[in-house]
Amino acid sequence: MPRIRQITIIGTGLIGGSFALALKKNRFRGKIIGCDRKPVLDQAKRRRAIDVAIPDPVEACSGSDLVVLATPVGGIIELIEKLAPHLPASTLLTDVGSTKSEVMRVAEKVFGSDISRRFLGGHPMAGKENSGIEFADAELFRGAVWFLTPAAKQTPKTAGVAEFSALLKKLGANIIALDSAEHDRLCAWISHVPQMVSTALAATLVDEYGENSALLEAGGRALREMTRISASPYSMWRDIAITNTQQIADALHKLEQELAHIRENLGTRQLEEEFERAHKLKKQSKHSRRRPRQ
């Protein structure tokens, strides 16, 4: 893959718009084409995130070296199948979907033995509780992890992968490569379950306090932090829940068991043991950060 001169971003909302703004801020000299609904594209143009606005996905990809699918996961899967016949072999297709196993399965079916040159699964861990181009931020990916889920035989030196990885590093992202199944298991714990817990807590508080919700402000920062992402729209999470159902369900089941154990031991020393066990997480995280990189 030659130097990336033209990039198409399909879905210019929070992630796609932020990617475009980050490219601009980090002096990408090529052309950026945005593809979305016209009102979204109009706003992306006003923010100078994109150079050209093309609503039709197939037309928008014409002449691009890199195509980034930044829609919900269901849309990504549909677009892989729709775009594949129209993309030249020299174009690298990648995505930002929050689940990867189903995305990779479809890409393998569509591209076959060419997948290592044609498609690279990706997922930036850089969302917000708000969606839309109006919340796009050029610094969204700086310091954030960008997961890549390479296909079999795809290496960091595979055509296109090296160029795209170099581009991500310019944006300040930290790249981690994972198998798609391991990615989905990990993200169930670090992203999907926290969202479901926040949603469940906020919904329960609505049931418990209703019109007296102003009293909840007394909870301070702890409650605000735990319910902040409950403001995330269902449209952002529907496809995640559908395409990672088993991993999320398994994680929630284990959490339910732990909550039941805590509930049953509120008046025993086992509660203290659970607090001590929980404290290990922060200690282990600190230890990991201190370890020198290999």
Query: Given this model, what pLDDT does residue 291 score?
Result: 47
* Close Cβ partners of 55 (under 8 Å, ≥ 6 residues apart): 35, 36, 37, 38, 41
Axis-axis angle for helices 193-209, 220-227 (nearest 10): 120
**Alpha carbon distance 17, 68 (integer Å):** 11
**Alpha carbon distance 93, 65 (integer Å):** 9
Backbone phi and psi for residue 72, each to the nearest 5 degrees, phi listed first: -55, 160
pLDDT band at 1 (very low <50, low <70, confident <90, very high): very low
Average pLDDT of the segment spanning 32-59: 96
**Alpha carbon distance 249, 253 (integer Å):** 6
Residue 289 pLDDT > 60: no
Average pLDDT of the segment spanning 39-53: 96
Lowest mean pLDDT among 7-16, 28-37, 49-58, 204-213: 204-213
Residue 293 pLDDT > 50: no
Strands of the 52-53 sheet, one edge to the other: 52-53, 31-35, 6-10, 66-69, 92-95, 119-124, 145-149, 174-177
Cα-based distances in Å from 12 to 119, 137, 229, 284: 20, 12, 21, 38
**Which residue would you say has higher pLDDT here, 201 or 153?**
201
Share of the chain above pLDDT 70, in %: 96
Mean residue pLDDT across the chain: 92
Which residues are bridge partners to 92 per DSSP? Answer: 66
**Alpha carbon distance 187, 246 (integer Å):** 12
pLDDT tens for 221-268 read: 899 999 999 999 898 899 999 999 999 999 999 999 999 999 999 999
pLDDT tens for 184-218 read: 999 999 999 999 999 999 999 999 998 777 878 88
Query: Given this model, what pLDDT does residue 255 score?
Result: 98
Residue 2 pLDDT > 70: no
pLDDT band at 24 (very low <50, low <70, confident <90, very high): very high
**Alpha carbon distance 64, 160 (integer Å):** 12
Share of the chain above pLDDT 90, in %: 82
